[in-house]
Amino acid sequence: MDAMEGKSKGGKKSKNLLGKYELGRMLGRGTFAKVYLARPVAGGEAVAVKVLDKAEVMGTAGMGPRVLHEVTAMRRLRHPSVLQLHEVLATRARIFLVMELAPGGDLLSRLAALPRRRLPEHTARRVFVQLVSALSYCHARGVAHRDIKPQNVLLDGDGNIKVSDFGLSALPDSLRDDGRLHTACGTPAYAAPEVLRRKAYDGAKADAWSCGVILFVLLAGYLPFDDANIADMCRKTHRREYEFPEWVSQPARRLVSRLLDPNPATRVAVEALATHPWFKRSLSLDSQLGGLLNGQPERTLAFQVPAMNAFDIISMSPGLDLSGLFGNGKQNREKRFMTTASPELTLEQLGRAGRKLGYVVVGKKGVECLPLGGLSGLAAMSVEMSEVAPPLMLVELRLEVADGDGEGQGFGWEELRQELGEVARAWHRCQDF
Specify whether the CB–CB gap between 286 and 363 falls below 8 A: no
Specify whether the CB–CB gap between 301 and 351 falls below 8 A: no
- Whether residue 147 lies in the annotated active site: yes
Specify whether the CB–CB gap between 211 and 217 falls below 8 A: no
The CA-to-CA distance between both ends of the chain, in Å, stands at: 65
Closest CA to 370 of 416, 428, 410: 416
Question: Pairing between strand 21-29 and 5-7?
Answer: unpaired
Half-sphere exposure of 306 (CA within 13 A, CB side): 8
Half-sphere exposure of 338 (CA within 13 A, CB side): 11
Length of the chain: 433
- Beta partners for 47? 38, 100
* 3-state class percentages of the chain: helix first, strand second, coil last, to nearest 5: 35, 20, 40
Question: Pairing between strand 13-17 and 21-29?
Answer: antiparallel
CA-to-CA separations, 147 to 107, 113, 126, 315, 411, in angstroms, rounded:
14, 23, 21, 56, 31
Task: Provide the sign of the torsion angle of the four alpha carbons 140, 144, 148, 151, taken in this order.
Answer: negative
Q: Work out the burial of residue 148: count CB atoms within 10 Å of its CB; fewer than 13 is exposed, 13-18 middle, 19 or more buried.
A: buried
Spatial distance between the Cα atoms of 362 and 42, rounded to a whole number of angstroms: 40
Task: Provide the sign of the torsion angle of the four alpha carbons 304, 310, 314, 315, taken in this order.
Answer: negative
- Beta partners for 89? 96
Residue from 106, 147, 165, 405 carrying the catalytic annotation: 147
Helix axes 121-140, 203-220, angle to 10 degrees: 170
For the annotated catalytic residues, the residue numbers are: 147
